[in-house]
Amino acid sequence: MTKTIFFTITFIFVSNAFPNSDTIEYSVPQLWDILDKKILLLQIDKEEGAKLLDEYEQGLVKYFMENGGRYVQRRDWAFPLANFTSVTHREEGNDYRETNYDYFQGSDSKVHPAHDIFILDSDKDLLDDETGKPVDVVTMCSGVVVATFTTWAPGSYLRGGNYVKIFDPTNYKFFYYSHLSQVNVEPGDIVDAGDKIGEVGRTGSKTHLHISLLKSVNGYPVPEPIIDDIWKSKENYLNGKK
C-alpha cells in the first residue's frame, strides 16, 4: 500500500516537472524548424524570435561540421535548377524588392526580396514541356536543412507553398526555396551545393522557383539580391560545370 502511494506521487512529480514537449530532444535544425513555423504563424514575439535565431546560428555551424559538411565558397554556388530545357527570369532578373521587408511579418510580406525563375510549362502540368519530366530544385550552397513545409494545399495561409530553407555555414546566411511541388529533404539533412532538394511547382501563377537569400543580423534576417550569383552559376551550369 505504502509502496503504491509512493510510486504514484513520484510519477505525478516527474510528469509535471517534465511535460511532454521538454522530454523530446531536438537537434538545432529541428528547433530552427519549430521556430520557423511559429514565426510564419505570428505565434512568437519578434524580439524573442530574433534572440533564438541568433542563438541557434553557432549550433548550426557546429552541427554542420560534426556531420561532415563541406564548406563551399560563394563563387562555387550551384544554379538552383537542374534537368530543364530552358528557363526565364521574372523582369529579366530585376524582380527584387526589399523596401520595408520584415521577416517577422510571417507569410504576409507584401514585398519580394527574391528572384523568380520560370520553367517551360505552358500546359501547367508541372513538367518541362520538352522533356515531359519535373525540373529539379537544387541547393546553391552547402549547408544544413533548417526548415521545410511539405503539406501545402490550395487556400493555405502560406503564400510560398511548399518550401525548403537551408543555412549556409560558409557565409552565415540562409536560402529560401519556395513553390515546390515536392520536397526531398528534411530538417537536419546536410547538403552539398548542387544536391537535389525538391521539384519545381506552382501556387496559382506560372510554374516557377522563388529563391531568396537572407543574413541574420543579431537574429533579424535581412535579404540580399543574388541575381549576379544566379547569372554566374547559370553560365557554369550551361557550360557543364557544377
Site residues, Zn ion (CB under 5 A): 114, 116, 210
Nearer to Zn ion, 139 or 142 (CB): 139
Nearer to Zn ion, 116 or 128 (CB): 116
> At closest approach, how far in Å is the CB of 158 from Zn ion?
13
Nearer to Zn ion, 134 or 223 (CB): 223
For residue 47, give the nearest of 230, 236, 220, 242 by alpha carbon. 220
51 membership: H or E segment, kind and range: helix 46-66
> At closest approach, how far in Å is the CB of 58 from Zn ion?
31
> At closest approach, how far in Å is the CB of 44 from Zn ion?
24
Nearer to Zn ion, 112 or 196 (CB): 112
Backbone φ and ψ of 239, nearest 5°:
-85, 5
- Cell digits of residue 220: 533579424
Provide the 10 A C-beta neighbour count for residue 164. 26
H helices, E strands: number in the chain: 5, 11
Amino acid at 122: S
Give the integer Cα–Cα distance in Å for 192 and 190.
7
User: Do residues 81 and 211 touch, judged by C-beta distance below 8 A?
Assistant: no
Nearer to Zn ion, 114 or 144 (CB): 114
> At closest approach, how far in Å is the CB of 114 from Zn ion?
5
Give the integer Cα–Cα distance in Å for 23 and 83.
43
> At closest approach, how far in Å is the CB of 240 from Zn ion?
28
The residue sitting closest to Zn ion, measured at its beta carbon, is 210
